Amino acid sequence: MARRETVVPVEAVVAPQPPRRVDAARNRQRVLDAAARLYAERGVEQVTMDDIAAAAGVGKGTLYRGFADRSGLAMALLDDRARALQEAVIGGAAPLGPGAPARDRLAAFVAAYLAFQVENLDLVLLSESGRGPGARLVKGSYALWRQHLAWLLQEGGAPDPRTRAEVLLGALAAEQVRHWVVVEGSAPADVERRLVAVGTALLVA
C-alpha cells in the first residue's frame, strides 16, 4: 500500500521576515507609498520607475537597489498587501483562520484570495510580467498558499492534496481571473460561487 502523503499546516513553515536597516526600511516604505498612490491615481501602466523615484524623493540608485524593476516593485507591494491575508489565515477568526472544518476554511480562503486577486489584478499581472513562463509558480506567496490549500484538502480527506491544491490555484491565477472578470464580464460574486463549488468538490475522494 502506498504511503499517504503528509502535509503540514502553513503556520509550521512560515519563516519570520529578516529585519532591515532603519534607513533602508524607511526608504522602502516611502517608495511603496509613492507607488501605491501613483498607481491608484494613474493606473499601473501609466507610471514609470522615474515617476516613483521622484514622488518618493529618492534617487534612482536607491530605487533600483531595492527593486530591480517594475515587476519587482509590484511584487513588493503585493507582499505587503498579502500580509494581512496571511495573518488572517494563520491566526485570524474562523472560518478563514483556524477553528472551522476544512470545508468551511477552504471556501473562505477561495473567497478571500479571489477578492485579493480582483482588487490587485493589474499589480499581480505586472509582478509576473517579464519573468518568463511559470512566473507565478516561483513566487514565495504561491508556495505559501499551495501549502495552505494542500493542508486543508488533506484535512478534508482528499487524496493527492498537493496536486489538487495546484489545480485550484490555477483557477485562481490572475490571468484566469482577468479573463472571467474583465474579458467575459462575469461578476466577481458569480466567479466566487463557481470557484467555491470547485474547491469543495476537490475534497471528494
**What does the alpha-carbon distance between residue 199 and residue 117 come to, in Å, rounded to a whole number?**
16
List of residues 6+ apart from 116 with CB closer than 8 A: 81, 82, 85
- The H or E element that residue 4 is part of is none
Chain segment 30-59, per-residue pLDDT in tens: 999 999 999 999 999 899 999 999 999 999
- Output the pLDDT for position 75: 86
CA gyration radius for the chain?
A: 18
- Output the pLDDT for position 2: 39
- Output the pLDDT for position 123: 93
Arithmetic mean of pLDDT, 150-159: 96
Domain 69-205 is found in CATH 1.10.357? yes
**Unique residue bearing C-alpha cell 473567497:** 111
- Output the pLDDT for position 18: 58
Domain 20-67 is found in CATH 1.10.10.60? yes
Q: Where in the chain is the domain with CATH 1.10.10.60?
A: 20-67
Q: Over 80: is that where the pLDDT of 145 sits?
A: yes
Q: What is the 8-class DSSP label of residue 56?
A: H
Chain segment 2-38, per-residue pLDDT in tens: 344 567 666 655 555 555 566 778 899 999 999 999 9
Cell numbers describing residue 67? 527593486
Per-residue pLDDT band for 63 (boundaries 50, 70, 90) equals very high
Q: Where in the chain is the domain with CATH 1.10.357?
A: 69-205
Q: On the CB side of 187, how many CA atoms lie within 13 Å of its CA?
A: 3
Chain segment 71-115, per-residue pLDDT in tens: 889 888 988 888 999 999 999 999 999 999 999 999 999 999 999
